Each structure stands twice: as structure tokens, then as C-alpha cells.
Structure 1
Amino acid sequence: MNGYTLRYMVAALLMGSLLILIGCEQRSAEPAKVERPTASQQVDVEAAADLSLAIWQAGQAQVLHAHASVETLQRAVQALLAQPSEEQLEETRLAWLDAHREFAATLPYIQLAFSPSDLRGQGRKLLLALDSWPAQPGYLDTVPGYSDSGIVNDTAIELTLVNLRKQHRLTAHEEASTGFHALEVMLWGPTSERMSEDFVADSNGEKPEALAANRRRELTRLIVKGIEEDMAGLARRWPTSANNLSRAYLSLGPVARLQQIRAAHTQVIDEQLMRRLPEGSESDVESGRAADSKQALLAIMATLQSNWIPTGGGGMAEVLLDRHQVRALEQTFSDFEALLLKMEDPFELAELGQLGRARKLLEQMAGLMTGTVHVPVSEKDVMPVSLPAVED
């Protein structure tokens, strides 16, 4: 299933909920707190219940799909290690790209699931394990000028997944030894010149398991194993019958659930999307080797759009915003996507003006989602009124 198919599936889940908007929403001049609806917001409770459950189920579908993509990636790595070839290395890289984008599309749902205060620490730990970037290549493998660098060459570190998790971000945030971007370093290489022969097993010496080539193979296998374990654990905790992540969410009232989604999504814009748009050419980029920063960002945006303004109508916007804000939000999504498609990937090559424009569009998007950005009524939306003639 590709990203477009999934997007329509999510939209279908959302459209299964009958949305009834009671009245027009009016916002106060003060910024609305997203944790609870304002007094002027009137949302049909039954519609909110249907929509909030549909969004949770869409999250489950996306998590399962991302996990399946990771399993495909794991099989590709296994095939590469069993019989290294340039063709299989390319297949493995393509599997990484697919899994990375599907994972990116889960981020708004993960933010929602771990919103409760007693779960936030778990959510942060999971995201750091799976998605820590930038990844310092010299922490993992040989880099030019340092032939003995990295875990690949440090035989004092026994290669087990438990040890890799202990080494992850041990003394600095760039020291990634688990997750997608550690695996990116292994598949593309520290200098983006990885060759399949780097994964050929070496049987020479008294302790072949200590040789760099064999440790590189094992390190790569363990990293993808860790990604699969983390995604499988998330998938097990998601269903409403699991009484785990879903319990905290379903214990809220329907309208409160929508407000939690709203808060989670604006946080994703601030902490995930903004972070992926560098403020200058010297800023860190997410996937410099795989050149996938832009596509991952688009995957996150597709999830947000499917929740707020799904294809065919319905969604968060129609429940929480007035019709002028809905129209403005739809246009903002469209403008942001069009701008992003024009930009270079990796983003460090993009024009600074484009990056600045993209950040402003994200700020506008967040303001519209929270309801704090008001859209002036255009002249064509105002009904003409015939006034009686004034006698002299």
C-alpha cells in the first residue's frame, strides 16, 4: 500500500463519522487554550465521539502500516547480509526510504497517544530511540582520517541490542546508535559512498567476529532489529482492546479528545515540522545522506491534512473552526505543499527565502488550528442589504 492509498483509507475512516456542526464558532480576542473548548464552542458530542474514535483508529492503521514497512526493511537487510550486492543494497535503501516515510506519517498519532503527563516520558524515549538525528557517522563507523573510529572498531563494546541502547546518545545527542538515522549511516555510509562489498563477511584471523567488516554487519542487523522491536511494541499497545495507550484517550469525553488532538497536532508543527526546516545553510538536516527530509515532512503533513481536511470533506476543521478558517486552513495546506515540492532536498540546499516562507506558513497553520487566527470576511461572503430610502 503506498502513501496515497493510505491517505484515502484514513480519509474514509474519518468520513465514516457523521459530523454535525452546531452554530458558528466565535472566538474571543484572547488566545484559546487548546486543552479545553472555549465556552462559545458548541460541538455535537455524538459527532465528536465518532470523529475522535475514527482518528484513533486511523492512527492504529498507520502504526500497523509503518510496522509492516519496517518488517520489509528488516528482511531487505537480512538479504543484503546474506548475499551482498549493489542491487540488494539499493533495494535495502529503497526499503529504508519507504519505512522512514511511513514512520514519519505516524508522528502526529504518536504525539497524541503519549499526550497524558504520565505517558510523555515514554513517548519521548520511544521517539529518541527511533528518530534521533543528526547521527554522527564517526560514532558508528570508520570515517576519513580516523580508521579506528566508531562502534564498528571498538571491540570493547559487545554488540548486543541491549548495549546499543545503552550507547545511544550516551554523551551527546549526535551519538545515535539506534533508530532510522543510525541505520541511514550504515546503509549510505559515513560519506555517502557505501558499497555492498563493505558488508561482505570476513573469515580471516583468530577472532573474525572482532573484525570491522563483521562488526559492521552485526551492527546493521541489530539496529534494524531494534527499530522493528520498538514499532512492534507500539503496535501492540495501540488497539482499544489493549487497555494501555487507548485507555487514557478513551477515558476523556469526546470533545476533550478533539482538544487533545488539536494540542498534539500544533505541538507536532512546533517540535517536528519546524525543526525539519533549517533556518540557515549551516543548520542540521534530518536525512542528509538519504536525501529524504522533504518527503518525510510531506508524510507528516499528509497525516495532519487527512485529520483536519480529509479528501471529500469532514474532519477536525469542520468541527472546531468557522467556515472562513476552514477555507484558509485548506489553502494553507495547499500553499505549503506547493512550496515544499519546489524546494531542494536535502533542505540545506534550499533557498533561504523559501525556508522562511515555509516557516511562516506553518505558523499560520498552527494559528488556524488553534482558532487564534481569525480570517476577515470577504466582500463576496457578505449578503447585500437593501436599506429603505431616507426621505428629505
Structure 2
Amino acid sequence: MKRFLVIAGLALAAGCDQTATSEPTASTHDSTTVEASPPSSFPLTPFSQRYLQQARRHCASALFEAQQLELAIHSLLAATTGDNLKSTQQQWEKAQARWLQCSLFSHSDGPLDTPEAGDPFAFATRIGNWPASAGYVDSTPEYPHSGLVNSPDVSLTRSSLLQQHLLTAPNETSVGLYALEVLLFGANASRTLEELTPQPVQPEQLDTPQRRRDYLALLGQLYASDLKTLVARWDPELASYPKQLAELSPPQQQRLLINGLRLRLLDIAEELNALEEEGEERSSHHEQRLSVPLQALLVLAENSDTSAALTQRVKALLEESASPAQSDKDTQPEAAPSTGSTLAEQIESLARELNELLGNPSNTVTASAQQLDGQQQ
């Protein structure tokens, strides 16, 4: 609700700016005074157009990989073999990479940040809530009877699983990509074929492998379905968000979208800080969560006529994130900013300067927006 108020407030401000400059005009045919109607929308800035194009393209790629994952899950359940399990896990990795690209375009009061009618969670929260507690979804070596898999009182339906999502803690993930990860990989990447193969049980016993299979099949279907809906919400002709964005003045469009990118960078920095506090090294899993959104930002920067400084900064961060997980001080490249010694601090620095980097007066994408902003002030 807070995000709806933000975008509504910006739209109201835009309307006030227009109304303040409107003057009544008189008809030359009679004495009736007619007040000029303010325009109902502004043109989308080139940056806004590029942002929408990139968001839809990346989320469409995420949809394709989600559909491939759903097919792989069907094949795995039809023939539960080691090869099928491995290929399904590999497809999950591809699906995660495409989702992380799509996730760059969150925090902008857009399709990723708002729920469908009747749903309690925004798309980003439902699809990609991370981290997921393995013990909340399934059994673990320490707690072999834990998790929703071992809770027959929880029906395996969309509505029931959404009721369990984030029930009492932020890592209680019951749906989406990272609940799928738990079911496919198991706790500590220890999933076995036996755990996915139905076993003969007594009538009063719970067939845990079958329930795990049912849960896996449902989440694969829901994940692909959610992404299909998400892609449609970026449609420039049919969806409401591009039209809502056009209700904002060019400077307001710029501020909204850049602030969304800034908040997504801060999310990444927060994850890195949490790892450091826990004394953990960056795994390949964490590397992907760090680097893939930055790669999507680099594509947006390189194709939007933005300042070269932003492109250089992102490339420097990608270079460092790909280096061996040693001390951040040891791996800091010479081109990196000197505002912080750790990778998280460098990302935080980039987030703080993002508006300036994307709003350089010499930048043809943002110059017209800044000029209009100055006129309105």
C-alpha cells in the first residue's frame, strides 16, 4: 500500500504542476469561458522506455527458463533417475540466473512490487524470497521430520502454501524459486533419489517422498505461471504500469526508476554485509546473486547512452566479484572507488551516486528531464 501511495503522490504532484500553469481561455464565438484541460499524461523519457524494454526482456527470459524448469521437473517425476535429477538441478541454476536479472527492476512501484488482486504478497516476495529455511520446507539431517513436506495438516494447494509463506519469520519461504531449490537439492545439497521415489507405506503413515513430489510439481507449475503473469504486467500496450509511469513528469519518472535501482543495489550490499558478519566466504551461489543483477545493470547502462563512468564502475565491481573470495581489501581493483575497502561498501557507494551517474547533464537521456525539473522548480 505504501508503494501505491508513493506513485499516486508523484502523479498528484505532476497534476498540480500542470494545473498551476493552466489559464482559462475565452471562446471567440460566445462569452462562455472555457478552462483548458491539462494533459493526462507525459511522454515516457528515453530512459523510462529503455528501462521498460529491458525489464520485460529480462523477465521474459526468466519465464522461458521457468517453463523449461517445469518441463524438467515433469521429466524427473516421470523417470526419477540420477541423470534427470542432475539436469533438473542444472535447469534450476539457469532459472535462478534469469530471475536475478529480472529482479533488478524491483523497488520501482512496478510489476515486481505489487501483488495480484487478492494475493497477500508482491511478485518479488512470492517468486524470489531469499534465503529460504531448508527446515521450514523439508526435513534436514538434524530434524528428519521437519518442514511442510512432513506436515500433512497443510494441504498442498496454492492458497494453503501462500498462507504459510513468511508466516512467522522472513526466511519461512513456502513458494517460489528458493523453496524449489530446497526440494530439488535438499539440505546441504544432499538430495537422494530415494527421497523422491514413493515407498510402500501403511495407511496411517505419511508417504513423505510422494508428498515431496507433489510439492515439487506444484511449485514448478506456480513459478512458471507467476512469471507468465509478471511478463504480461510489463506489456507497453496492455499493462497499467507503463501508463502509470506516463502520469509522472519526466523528472519524476527518472527519480522513481533510479531510486528503484539504488534500492536493489543496497539489497545486494546488505547480503554481502550479512555474509561478512557471519564469517562466511562467498560461495558460487552468492557470487551469482551478486554478479547477475550487476550484469543486468551493465546492459541497461551500456544501451541507454548513460555516462561512461557508470559503465566503468559496474565493470569494476563485476571484476572484483569474480575474483577469488579472499579479503575484499586484497582483491580491490585499482579502478574501484576509494570510498570503501569492502565490496559491499563499494556497492553502497555506487548506490549513493547512481542518481548523479544516470543524471549527468551531458547525458542526452536525462538532460531534457533535468531541464524540465529545473523549470518546474
Q: Do they fold alike, i.e. is TM over 0.5?
A: yes
Aligned residues: CA RMSD:
3.4
Q: Which of residues 173, 177, 181 is equivalent to 2:174?
A: 177
Residue 315 of structure 2: aligned partner: 334
Q: Which digits, 9 at most, give the CA deviation of each residue in 1:16-44, with x for residues without a partner?
A: xxxxxxxxxxxxxxxxxxx99xxxxxxxx
| 1:237 Cα deviation after fit | 1.6
- Say which structure, 1 or 2, has more relative contact order (CA 8 Å, 6+ apart): 1
Conserved in 1, the CA contact under 8 Å of 2:111 and 2:230? no
Residue 356 of structure 2: aligned partner: 371
Residue 273 of structure 1: aligned partner: 268
Q: What is the 5 A alignment of 1:221-240?
A: 221-240=217-236
Q: Which of residues 164, 183, 186 is equivalent to 2:161?
A: 164
Greater CA drift, 75-84 or 123-132: 123-132
Residue 244 of structure 1: aligned partner: 240
Q: Which of residues 98, 104, 111 is equivalent to 2:107?
A: 111
Q: What is the 5 A alignment of 1:200-219?
A: 200-206=197-203, 210-219=206-215
Q: Does structure 1 residue 298 correspond to structure 2 residue 291?
A: yes
Conserved in 2, the CA contact under 8 Å of 1:164 and 1:177? yes
| 1:242 Cα deviation after fit | 1.6
Q: 1:124 to 1:363 in 2, by over 3 A?
A: farther
Q: Which digits, 9 at most, give the CA deviation of each residue in 1:26-63, with x for residues without a partner?
A: xxxxxxxxx99xxxxxxxxx997333213212211111
Q: Does structure 1 residue 154 correspond to structure 2 residue 154?
A: no
Q: Which residue identity is paired with 1:153?
A: N
SS of residue matched to 1:191: helix
Residue 184 of structure 2: aligned partner: 187
Q: Which residue identity is paired with 1:342?
A: S
Q: Which digits, 9 at most, give the CA deviation of each residue in 1:150-192, with x for residues without a partner?
A: 1111111122122111111111122111111111111111132
Q: Which residue identity is paired with 1:201?
A: P
Q: Distance in 2 between matches of 1:138 and 1:145?
A: 9
Q: Which digits, 9 at most, give the CA deviation of each residue in 1:299-340, with x for residues without a partner?
A: 111121222233xxx43x34xxxxxxx43x333212211110
SS of residue matched to 2:46: helix
Greater CA drift, 252-261 or 135-144: 252-261
| 1:281 Cα deviation after fit | 4.5
Conserved in 2, the CA contact under 8 Å of 1:110 and 1:123? no
Q: Distance in 1 between matches of 2:146 and 2:79?
A: 26
Q: Which digits, 9 at most, give the CA deviation of each residue in 1:91-112, with x for residues without a partner?
A: 1111111111111111222333
Q: Distance in 1 between matches of 2:221 and 2:280?
A: 25
Conserved in 1, the CA contact under 8 Å of 2:270 and 2:344? no
Q: Which residue identity is paired with 1:331?
A: Q
Q: Which residue identity is paired with 2:230?
A: L
Residue 15 of structure 1: aligned partner: none
Residue 142 of structure 1: aligned partner: 139
| 1:250 Cα deviation after fit | 2.4
Q: Distance in 2 between matches of 1:373 and 1:56?
A: 16
Q: 1:59 to 1:285 in 2, by over 3 A?
A: farther
Q: Which residue identity is paired with 1:309?
A: E
Q: 1:299 to 1:118 in 2, by over 3 A?
A: closer
Q: Distance in 2 between matches of 1:207 and 1:120?
A: 39
Q: Which digits, 9 at most, give the CA deviation of each residue in 1:120-178, with x for residues without a partner?
A: 99896222211222211111222123222111111111221221111111111221111
Residue 300 of structure 2: aligned partner: 307
Q: Distance in 1 between matches of 2:112 and 2:56?
A: 18
Conserved in 2, the CA contact under 8 Å of 1:115 and 1:264? no
Q: Distance in 1 between matches of 2:182 and 2:279?
A: 15
- In the alignment, structure 1 segments of 5+ residues that lack a partner are 1-34, 37-45, 319-325, 345-349, 376-392
Q: 1:373 to 1:118 in 2, by over 3 A?
A: closer
| 1:371 Cα deviation after fit | 1.7
Q: Distance in 2 between matches of 1:78 and 1:374?
A: 48
Residue 278 of structure 2: aligned partner: 283
Q: Distance in 1 between matches of 2:194 and 2:291?
A: 34
Residue 53 of structure 1: aligned partner: 49
**What TM-score results when the alignment is normalised by the length of structure 1?**
0.70
Q: 1:68 to 1:264 in 2, by over 3 A?
A: same
Q: Which residue identity is paired with 1:200?
A: T
SS of residue matched to 1:111: coil
